[in-house]
């Protein structure tokens, strides 16, 4: 009898250990660049994934109770790039192969008709080539002293360009940029709060017609199902 109870207990523990809960937490940061005829948005979406067996729930609870940080099991970073003019909107999604955020594109800086970035995983000084990031020509890397001319700072009407960085933090925010006198763009940020949901939406504002939404990104901090988790992380456990 005791043996049967022991076997049943072991089977129950094995079943519980095989069942997992899945969690997703997004962090989102972006950069807006614009001049008198066009605007660009470079938005990095970093998905952190955590899966824990039912046996691991007490450990997770204690970690949160002590205000500790549970390291993610999976990471995925993708970039949503939007280019808007008064007549068209282009959208591209670029996957960052290296999930280390410190290896991704930063310091977005326009110069002439090109947008330059520091992209360590791609080799350093890169340009936005219309639908992907590409290593800047060698002569430009030498002439520009590497990434020396790039900047993290926001600026307004510098050589015709303006720049503003933004992200989903703990408070709601919004701002409007003016690309000449033909159209405006409204950026509305709903912070991730206790509901576990937030968003970034961008609307085109015309002087003679109704606003038009050109982008919406949902930002999550919540539990998801196994199928959804695997979809986000491309089949990872």
What pairing do the DSSP bridges indicate for beta strands 106-111 and 20-34?
unpaired
Q: Which two tokens stand for residue 154?
A: 């926001």
Residue 223, pLDDT > 90, answer no
Structural domain for 25, as ranges: 2-232
Q: 3-state DSSP call for residue 111?
A: strand
Q: How many domains does the chain have?
A: 1
**Mean pLDDT over residues 182-201, rounded?**
84
For residue 128, the number of C-alpha atoms closer than 13 Å in the C-beta half-sphere is: 27
Please give the share of the chain, as a percent, with pLDDT higher than 90: 47
Sign of CA dihedral 177, 215, 100, 229: positive
Q: Which two tokens stand for residue 62?
A: 């204690």
Does residue 100 lie within any of the structural domains? yes
**Mean pLDDT over residues 108-137, rounded?**
94
Does residue 180 lie within any of the structural domains? yes
Does residue 31 lie within any of the structural domains? yes
Report pLDDT for 14.
47
Query: In terms of Cα–Cα distance, which of 92, 96, 65 is closest to 80?
Result: 92
Torsion of CA 157, 104, 186, 111, to 10 degrees: 20
Does residue 237 lie within any of the structural domains? no
**Mean pLDDT over residues 118-125, rounded?**
93
Q: 3-state DSSP call for residue 63?
A: helix
Q: Which residue has the higher pLDDT, 102 or 146?
A: 102
Q: How many C-beta atoms surround the C-beta of residue 180 within 10 A?
A: 14
Does residue 155 lie within any of the structural domains? yes
Q: 3-state DSSP call for residue 62?
A: helix
Residue 62, pLDDT > 50, answer no
Q: Distance between CA 150 and CA 145 in Å, rounded?
A: 10
Does residue 34 lie within any of the structural domains? yes
Does residue 145 lie within any of the structural domains? yes
Long-range CB contacts (< 8 A, 24+ apart) of 134-142? Answer: none
Query: In terms of Cα–Cα distance, which of 98, 137, 96 is closest to 116?
Result: 137
Residue 2, pLDDT > 60, answer no
């Amino acid at each position: 009898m005791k043996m049967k109870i022991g076997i049943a207990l072991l089977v129950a523990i094995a079943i519980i250990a095989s069942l997992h809960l899945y969690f997703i937490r997004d962090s989102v940061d972006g950069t807006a660049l614009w001049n008198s005829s066009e605007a660009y948005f470079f938005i990095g979406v970093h998905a952190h994934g955590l899966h824990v067996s039912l046996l691991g729930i007490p450990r997770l609870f204690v970690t949160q109770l002590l205000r500790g940080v549970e390291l993610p099991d999976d990471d995925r970073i993708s970039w949503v790039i939007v280019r808007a003019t008064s007549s068209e909107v282009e959208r591209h999604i670029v996957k960052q192969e290296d999930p280390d955020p410190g290896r991704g594109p930063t310091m977005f800086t326009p110069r002439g008709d090109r947008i330059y970035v520091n992209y360590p995983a791609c080799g350093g000084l890169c340009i936005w080539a219309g639908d992907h990031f590409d290593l800047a020509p060698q002569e430009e890397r030498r002439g520009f002293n590497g990434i020396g001319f790039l900047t993290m700072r926001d600026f307004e009407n510098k050589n015709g360009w303006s720049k503003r960085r933004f992200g989903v933090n703990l408070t709601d925010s919004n701002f409007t940029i003016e690309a000449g006198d033909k159209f405006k763009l409204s950026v509305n940020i709903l912070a991730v709060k206790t509901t576990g949901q937030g968003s970034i939406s961008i609307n085109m504002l015309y002087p003679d017609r109704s606003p038009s939404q050109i982008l919406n990104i949902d930002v999550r901090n919540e539990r998801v199902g196994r199928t959804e988790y695997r979809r986000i992380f491309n089949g990872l456990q």
